[in-house]
Amino acid sequence: MISPHGSEDLKPLYVEEPEVRESLLREAATLPTLQLNSAAAANAVMLAGGYFTPLPGFMNLDDALSVAESMHTRDGLFWPVPIVNRTHDISAIRDARRVALLDPNVPGNPVLAIQTVESIEEIPADVLETMTGQTFGTLDASHPGVTTFTEAGKYLVAGPIEVLNYSYFEKDFPMTFRTAVQIRTAIKANGWNTVVAFQTRNPMHRAHEELCKMAKDAVNADGILIHMLLGKLKKGDIPADVRDAAIRKMVELYFPPNSVMVTGYGFDMLYAGPREAVLHAVFRQNAGCTHLIVGRDHAGVGDYYGPFDAQTIFDTLPDDALEIEIFRADHTAYSKKLNKVVMMRDVPDHSAEDFVMLSGTKVREMLASGEALPEEFARPEVAEILMQYYMAEPVN
């Protein structure tokens, strides 16, 4: 089985032993507290599940800046984006050695983790600008990831963490949320050796379905991991529970039995384009996948990145950066000429009129009005689930 990134074994930071966890919760009641922002809470959940192996916790300023500038920590570990805990107010934790980290996304703000504080540093404005620009490729405040990152707080709290729960993800998505540990275990139990991962924050239409099948055939994979983001999105994105239901219906009806695992992970979308695509590869390798599908404008938003920037960034990485391989996908759509879904790069004789293509706005309008989508574009059973959602929601 493919090795975890930077380690022989996964390093999940969730405290498995109930007695130890109870002891830490008692300790937490005596500690200064820091309420996390949503991004830091998502980082904690990913660290807990082993997805961010081999990181022991939150980076200090030197490592965060080094990662932003060179995609390596100061000691040489390859890593594509800063994994940090930032805050606006350190008055309650200024001299603390141990801090209880509170969950911002669960009512009552329960303790999510305990952090051993190794340093608390103020981020100079020019350093924050460098970290932002290098990570996102832009400083434009209209970029949703840039806004979230720049407003996360001027203090950086570094040090290892011990995570006591998985926030709201286990409770809200019990059939879907899985850790890297659980996915590796399931892959091994299935007897799969070659596994292709598909990243999604959207429902899957016919083109996505066929892309997964194309990739599986191309790399002769034993199985497919459909791995959906369950955390915070931008306004207008479809909620995770609706996506989950639509994807499961598609897999149930249109994939061979026992060929697909439908799972999700607890992370907030960064919209960091190329850098986020590399992060996606890192934690899919940690989950046991040998290949990741990287498509057109992977993890992008708006027009901030070129359509294939998230693929070409992998050409710039050191040869030993990652073991996972990339399946490079072009835009896929249903060909009226060939009566099947194709990658556009494979049919140079086609014009735009030869494809069944609908804009996102048109899809939303059709579903909200109860109008059926073309079967060449979306499976009817999937479209029905999305239609129920959009007919109950105002059109944005």
Give which of 145, 139, 12, 123 is closest to 59, Cα–Cα: 123
247 within 8 A of 228, measured Cβ to Cβ: yes
260-265 and 223-229: which strand pairing? parallel
List the structure tokens of 146: 């840039």
Q: Which amino acid is at 139?
A: L
Which residues are 223's β-sheet partners? 195
Contacts of 384 (CB under 8 A, 6+ apart): none
Contacts of 339 (CB under 8 A, 6+ apart): none
> Known catalytic residues?
201-202
Determine whether 19 is exposed, middle or buried from the number of CB atoms within 10 Å of its CB (0-12, 13-18, 19+).
exposed
136 within 8 A of 176, measured Cβ to Cβ: no
- The torsion of the CA quartet 19, 25, 26, 29, rounded to 10 degrees, works out to 180
Give which of 32, 45, 15, 164 is closest to 98, Cα–Cα: 32
